[in-house]
Structure 1
Amino acid sequence: MPWARLSGSPRLDVAIDMGNPFLNLTVDGFLKIGAVAATRSAAEDTYHIIQKGNISSHDFEKTLKKMCKEGVYWGTIAGVYVGMEYGVERIRGTRDWKNAMIGGAVTGALVSAASNNKKDKIAIDAITGAAIATAAEFINYLT
Structure 2
Amino acid sequence: MPRSSFAGTLSGPKVDVFIDMGNPFLNLTVDGFLKIGTVAATRAAAEDAYYIARKGSVSTHKLEHTLKKMCKEGAYWGAVAGVYVGLEYGVERIRGTRDWKNAMLGGALTGALVSAATKNNRDKVLIDAISGGAVATAAEFLNYLT
TM-score over 0.5 for the alignment? yes
1:41 equivalent to 2:36? Answer no
Aligned residues: 138
- Partner of 2:107, secondary structure, is helix
Q: CA deviation at 1:7?
A: 4.1
Equivalent residue in structure 1 for 2:73, among 70, 74, 77? 70
Q: Choose 1 or 2 for highest CA Rg.
A: 2
1:90 equivalent to 2:93? Answer yes
- Partner of 2:49, secondary structure, is helix
- Map of 1:81 onto structure 2: 84
Per-residue displacement from partner, 1:101-134 (whole Å, max 9, x unpaired)? 0000000000000000010100000000000000
Per-residue displacement from partner, 1:45-92 (whole Å, max 9, x unpaired)? 000000010000000000000000000000000000000000000000
Q: Which amino acid letter does the alignment assign opposite residue 21 of structure 1?
A: P
Q: CA deviation at 1:8?
A: 2.9
- Map of 2:129 onto structure 1: 126
Q: CA deviation at 1:10?
A: 1.3
Q: Which amino acid letter does the alignment assign opposite residue 37 of structure 1?
A: A
- Map of 2:21 onto structure 1: 18
- Partner of 2:42, secondary structure, is helix
Please provide the CA RMSD for this pair: 0.8
Q: CA deviation at 1:9?
A: 1.9
Quick one: higher RCO (CA 8 Å, sep 6+), 1 or 2? 1
Q: Distance in 1 between matches of 2:129 and 2:76?
A: 18
- Map of 2:114 onto structure 1: 111
- Map of 1:57 onto structure 2: 60
Q: CA deviation at 1:33?
A: 0.1
**Which 4+ residue blocks in structure 1 deviate beyond 6 angstroms?**
none
Q: Which runs of 5+ in 1 are unaligned?
A: 1-5
When normalised by structure 1's length, the TM-score is: 0.95
Q: Distance in 2 between matches of 1:91 and 1:105?
A: 16
Q: Which runs of 5+ in 2 are unaligned?
A: 1-8
